[in-house]
Structure 1
Amino acid sequence: MAPPYTYPVAGILYFVSHPQLWVKTICPFLLTLIFGILSLVLSFVYLLPLQAHALIVAKCPVWLAWTVSVIFVLLESAVFDLIFFAILLPIFQDALFDATLKSRGLERMFTNRVEVGNLRLCCRGISSGLALVWLLILAQILILIITAPLHLIPVVGTFVACYINGWIACWGHHLHYDLEFRGFSVSDSRSFAWRHKADYCNFGVVAVALELIPLFNLIFMWTNVVGAALYVGDKYEKNEREIAKRNRNSTASTEILIQHPSMPSSKQGYGSLRV
């Protein structure tokens, strides 16, 4: 396997070379745009008059009441759009993760996938729910704010800030796989991520650094998902090879024992067999 820190970059290259994955990223933006237009129209039709009249009743000048109400409506519509996009984002990120695995030829991973209902698919685990998604987002924002002063230190400060934020970022990208493919609970997923925090931080430091780049972060937040899927796919194939190797060694050892029943017991003989 390649080092964990290379997978965010590998995700960019893989995403660019596989246009079929682009649809998963375009849909949430189009849906958010449609929702934004609808929310803006409805806000101007219903919220604007209500707010303006409420301010006028409160003895606010008419011109000021309508001006303030228009500003409020625009802000409210923007907030609605952000909330809508934040709800859509994890759902389509999970879909992109799955599509990447399938494009890698790893459809066999889905045969043992944990059977869950639609609610769990939308909420990334019934045990976590939307609350977990929001908690992860809030935790990432909080840590970004706390570590923001580190960026004042050129290069080194930015690296340290990205490294600190990297663990939770990487765990967020792996949560879908842990819950729906491995059958982990949220606490199991968190414990596993903490035991492998070095690998998670190595992946996350590059992923977070890419998402700090203005404008391009709108693309990198998707390519990091692709990179996480490639990382998981490589680990899955590595485990398959190790299991197959152990099975071959076990079969060969059994055949040798059958052919030579007088060989030493397992305590003396099996450990020294090399086939």
Structure 2
Amino acid sequence: MAPPSTYPITGIIYFLAHPQLWVKVICPFLLTLIFGILSLVLSFVYLLPLQANALIEANCPNWLAWVVSVIFTLLESAIFDVIFFAILIPFFQDALFDATLKARGMSRMFETRVQVNGMILCCRGVSSGLALAWFLVLAQIIVWIITAPLHLIPVIGTIIACYINGWPACWGQHIHYDIEFRGFSVSDSRRYAWQNRGGYCSFGVVAVALELVPLFNLLFMWTNVVGAALWVADKYEKNERDIAKQLRNQPQGNSGNTSIASIYPSVRSPSSFVPSVESEHSRLITHASNPGLKDGYGSSNNA
């Protein structure tokens, strides 16, 4: 399986190569493009001179004041875009994520997804959940503001800032899948994301870096969703192969006493129901040669 850091780039290539995905983002993309251009223009017209003059009055050298102000103006414009994107994102992001899985040939994931209580989905705001989306975006913005001074350190500072911002950004890309496919609670999803923070940060550092590119970030915000879906699909297929291999190697006499949790421990509570290998084997046969497991990754904590 490819390293997590490659999936944001893979998402760009996959998105451009599959026009059926474009339909899912044309409307929100045009809206974010218009807003992005306006926010960039207004930021440079009003915020740039305001910040530069304030630094000059604070006895900062003119050239340094303007360089610092340009950097912060770009960051502020990006934050405005993220806020606007967060208002627009809940329904369109989930639709693009699901469409990517189907384009990837993973329709079976929808047939074997966990049936989530309607109240849970309602609390998320029908699909993604405005409250949760705003919580994640607010967390990202706070981290962005705290790490903003790091961007003053050429290259290295930006890389560190992107790495720090990477984890919450990547978790936000996976929350839809964790809750609506795997049946996790928000705390389960957060725990899983933290346990696999290495992979999440690797994905997130590239995704955040792409979203810092002026104007192009309006496209990369969507291709990062595609990249996250492709990563999920690859992990799903990897766990299918691993579990099928384990089932084939399992001694016949012990199959009824071994649980899937012993192969891939779940992040859920110990009281969660996990089917035995014997029952799971029957279900696998029912769902065809490349079936999926009930909770998405086959209850795997492998990232």
TM-score, normalised on structure 2?
0.63
Alpha-carbon deviation of 1:146? 1.1
Give me the whole-angstrom Cα distance separating, in 1, the residues matched to 2:93 and 2:82. Answer: 16
Match of 1:269 in 2: none
- 2 CA distance for matches of 1:118 and 1:32? 31
Report the CA distance shift for 1:242/1:96 in structure 2 as closer, same or farther (over 3 A).
same
In 2: Cα distance, 1:156 partner to 1:141 partner: 20
Structure 1 equivalent of residue 278 of structure 2: none
Residues 36-93 of structure 1, C-alpha deviation per residue, up to 9 Å, x if partnerless? xxxxxxxxxxxxxxxxxxxxxxxxxxxxxxxxxxxxxxxxxxxxx9988633312111
Counterpart in the other structure of 2:28: 28
In the TM superposition, residue 206 of structure 1 has moved relative to its aligned partner by: 0.2
Q: Where does structure 2 lack aligned partners over 5 or more consecutive residues?
A: 34-80, 256-303
Residue type at the aligned position of 1:209: A
Q: CA deviation at 1:145?
A: 1.1
Pairwise mapping of residues 79-90 of structure 1 onto structure 2 (< 5 A)?
Answer: 86-90=86-90
Could you tell me which residue of structure 1 aligns to residue 131 of structure 2?
A: 131
Alignment of 1:98-117 (within 5 A): 98-116=98-116
Indicate how the Cα distance of structure 1 residues 118 and 187 shifts in structure 2: closer, same or farther if over 3 A, else same.
closer
For the 8 Å contact 1:123–1:133, the answer to whether it is kept is: no
The residue number in structure 2 matching 1:140 is 140
Matched, 1:187 2:187: yes
Q: CA deviation at 1:115?
A: 3.5
The structure where helix makes up a greater share of residues is: 1
The answer as to whether partners of 2:97 and 2:226 remain within 8 angstroms in 1 is: yes
- 1:194-225 deviation line (CA, Å, top 9, x unaligned): 00001000000000000000000000000000
AA of the residue aligned to 1:190: R
Q: What residue is the counterpart of 2:166 in the other structure?
A: 166
Distance in 2 of aligned mates of 1:31 and 1:86: 12
Contact 1:101–1:230, Cα closer than 8 Å, also in 2: yes
**Superposition TM-score, scaled by structure 1 size:** 0.69
Q: C-alpha displacement at 1:113, in angstroms?
A: 2.0
Partners of 2:125 and 2:131 within 8 A in 1: no
Q: For the Cα contact (< 8 Å) 2:96–2:225, is it kept in 1? A: yes
Query: RMSD over aligned Cα, in angstroms?
Result: 3.0
Spell out structure 1 runs of 4+ moving beyond 6 A.
81-84, 125-128, 252-255
Residue identity opposite 2:106 in structure 1: L
Moved more, 113-122 or 1-10: 113-122
1:143-202 per-residue CA deviation (whole Å, 9 max, x = no partner) reads 111111100001110000000000000000000000000000000000000000010000
1:130 is displaced (CA, Å) by: 2.3
Larger Rg: 1
C-alpha contact 1:128 1:186 (8 A) present in aligned 2: no
Q: Is residue 212 of structure 2 the alignment partner of residue 212 of structure 1?
A: yes
Counterpart position of 1:14: 14
**Paired residues, what number?**
209
Distance apart, 1:131 and its partner CA:
1.6
